Amino acid sequence: MKKSQIAFCALLALCAAGRVHSAPADVEARVEATLARLTFDEKLGQLWQFSGGQPSEAASSDRSKGTLDPKFLEAVSAGRYGSVIGKRGLENYNAIQRAAMDGIGIPLLIGHDMIHSATTTYPIPLALACAWDESLWERTASAIAVETLALGCNWTFTPMLDVALDARWGRIAEGGGCEPLVTGLMGAAMVRGFQGADMSDGFHIAACAKHYVTYGASFGGRDYNAVEMADSTLRDVYLPPFKMAVDAGVATVMPAFHSYNGVPCSMNSYLLRDILRKELGFDGMTISDWSAVRELLNHGVAGNKADAAVLALNAGIDMEMVSDCYVTTLKAAVDSGRVSMKTIDDAVRNVLRVKYRLGLFDRPTLDAAALANAIDPAANRALARECARKSCVLLKNDDGALPLKKGVKVALLGDLAANEWQMLGCWSTRDLSNFANATLLAGLKADGVDVNYVEAYTLTGRVDLAAVEAAACGADIVVAAFGDYWENSGEGNSSAILELKGDQMKVAEKVKSLGKPLVAVVFGGRPMAFPDLAKTADAILMAWNPGGCGGWGLADVLTGLAEPWGRLTVDMPYATGTCPLYYSRTTTGRPAAITANHPFGHRYTSCYNDAPFVALYPFGYGLMYTTVEYSGEKAVVEGDSVAFSADVTNTGAREANELVQVYVRDEVARIARPRRELKGFKRVALRPGETKRVEIKVPVASLGYTVDGRYAVEPGGFSAWIAPDSDSGRNLHFEISAK
């Protein structure tokens, strides 16, 4: 093992043992036998994912209906494609696979972006991460897998493992947030859910770890933008989640669109061959992102399609998505010696290996009846409701505004409160056959709340303050929907303004002026900056995009039928200008010093003169309907691990589900280190008045860092915090001895 590899392995020690795909002799033998009978053109076909061939009669909203073009099926039979992208329905899936098997005898990978939805729509990944629950992540992915097969796909382009530090980046919605450990644990759990113990069983699909790698660090939070960073940051922050996914057996990996230190990821052999293959041990298949090989021309590193194909294939891109550089230029590249036949064959081997592991050769078509029996729509809706309950985060709750008391009259305001479409999120497939119509309004009514809904305002448009006043005056408490529409997050939706848009604050201020308690339910696909709302509202529930059953889950929390569970996996900023903002920021030579004359920090320290430099709500933060206290915190080195422990007491009158978190900092290191780093967490259930001793063991091997290409744990002093969030806790000290 290379010294640099240890950085990846350190975080892995914190999670359960992964599942590594082996390469059984029979699979490898079958791959070689299949490869040997292919013509050169058929080999090139295996390296292309085609985007066409959608049913000719299909409506734009439902591509599962209609008939396939016979010419498309002829091309499939002739082996022109190794894969197609897009769902076409189960019958068409089987027609495609029959054409493939009747032709050259190689089935197709059929992929689609089933990110948080197939037929049932779950909360967006950023929301789901806030549950901090590996079992929930795995169960959700498993449910999506079966529904994905029923829609005619055997491959999904997720989990997204980009550590995202900048709330301006639209794709922050698709991943686990700003923390490598949480992102990696979530990704590995999703891989296990999608692929199962045996992904060839007919009820699981291939997963794809993306976007490899550092995409979440794009300059300015702009999608597709460049990234420059130190190799130590790459290895200690951005690579660990991908290592976790590889060790969990992920079948495929997708490199990112952007350039890393000037070299586009789609042609970066250092990332794809040296690290992914040799160091991480990945033996599956790589696929470019949409048209990313062709976009090497836009990067200015390729003069034409032939150059792009040579650069990408030689660097380690096995399959090209959508663009046709490979199939149109690689024959000439081989003839001229720019690409070797071995490189072509190795890429085809990787494609075939995934197809054999997925069981496509032995079971090319899908059994509609078996899949129908395996899907329980009611159970999936219940799971989606559970996800929504556990994903929302209670950020504020003054004077017991929540939970809503029985018998109170509630005025519900805002267009988002009754818009079923807006519950879904940026990567919903929007197949509404299992949609519950569960808006916030529907959820409150289902939970028996006396609710009067008045739209009164839209998030970015009109506001009728007279209607706000009339509704509020006729109620005991106001619940109002704030935030942003889901269309403004996700791919291609980076934002330079994170503050609440339109006249939303006018609504909050009007309710406040009437002396009515205000509960703000904030929807959206990214962290937002709302310090004024934080001052004005009595309670704030961060709802994110909670999915098709989101209104039910949110109502369960608002009414107290379920206890608040979620904790932030990102930092909520005071203002857009403070981004990128993340709890694990590096310490500086002039740390911010707050004084009476400098409320945001002294001028000559690392701060802003017009806004707080810290988070409005920090990573790990989330309230419950009860309170807890920590005492007796200890950090004790025990051989190869450090045992962190504390007494946690429920000091309130309701059940607690406290998320105990452990943060560590190397006090004196060779390079400046983060102020805190999450190293472990554990959830504990407590009855009112109950105390439990909570212990979390952290491997000493996870306390190091990479410098000069070498990962090491240096002896000396460490600070630690056992706390409910990344800004809390009593500072502990422990020593690691030299070995």
Q: Which residues contact 646 (CB under 8 A, 6 or more apart)?
A: 630, 631, 632, 633, 634, 660, 693, 694, 722
Spatial separation of the C-alpha atoms in residues 470 and 464, rounded to whole Å: 10
Q: Token digits for 607?
A: 């701060």
528: left (phi over 0), alpha (psi -120 to 50) or beta: beta
Residues in the chain predicted with pLDDT less than 50, given as ranges, are 1-8, 10, 12-22, 59-60
Phi, psi of 617 (to 5 degrees): -135, 125
Number of domains making up the chain: 1
Identify the three-state secondary structure at position 522: strand
Work out the number of other CB atoms within 10 angstroms of the CB of residue 496: 11
Task: Tally the residues of the chain.
Answer: 739
Query: Model confidence over 718-733: pLDDT tens digits?
Result: 999 999 999 999 999 9
Q: Which domain holds residue 676?
A: 628-736
Active-site positions read: 289
Q: Which residues contact 421 (CB under 8 A, 6 or more apart)?
A: none
Residue that has been written with the tokens 């959608």 in this structure: 54
Identify the three-state secondary structure at position 266: helix
CA 31, distance to chain mean position in Å, is 33
Residue 520, Cβ density class (10 Å: 0-12 exposed, 13-18 middle, ≥19 buried)? buried
pLDDT of 432: 63
Spatial separation of the C-alpha atoms in residues 120 and 123, rounded to whole Å: 10
Q: Is residue 350 part of a domain?
A: no
Q: Is residue 126 part of a domain?
A: no
pLDDT of 739: 78
pLDDT of 502: 94
pLDDT of 63: 55
Q: Is residue 676 part of a domain?
A: yes
Q: Token digits for 438?
A: 């569960």
Q: Is residue 654 part of a domain?
A: yes
- In angstroms, the Cα distances linking 137 to 116, 176, 187, 194, 685 are 10, 11, 8, 10, 20
Mode of pairing for the β-strands spanning 259-260 and 263-264: antiparallel
Spatial separation of the C-alpha atoms in residues 237 and 48, rounded to whole Å: 32
Q: Is residue 577 part of a domain?
A: no
Query: Model confidence over 263-279: pLDDT tens digits?
Result: 999 999 999 999 999 99
Model-level pTM? 0.96
Q: Partners of 692 in the beta sheet? A: 648
Q: Token digits for 174?
A: 């698709």
pLDDT of 246: 98
Q: Which residues contact 322 (CB under 8 A, 6 or more apart)?
A: 49, 50, 51, 85, 290, 291
Domain at 725, CATH number: 2.60.40.10
pLDDT of 4: 47
Q: Is residue 324 part of a domain?
A: no
Q: Is residue 668 part of a domain?
A: yes
Spatial separation of the C-alpha atoms in residues 438 and 550, rounded to whole Å: 6
Q: Is residue 310 part of a domain?
A: no
Q: Token digits for 220?
A: 């300015």
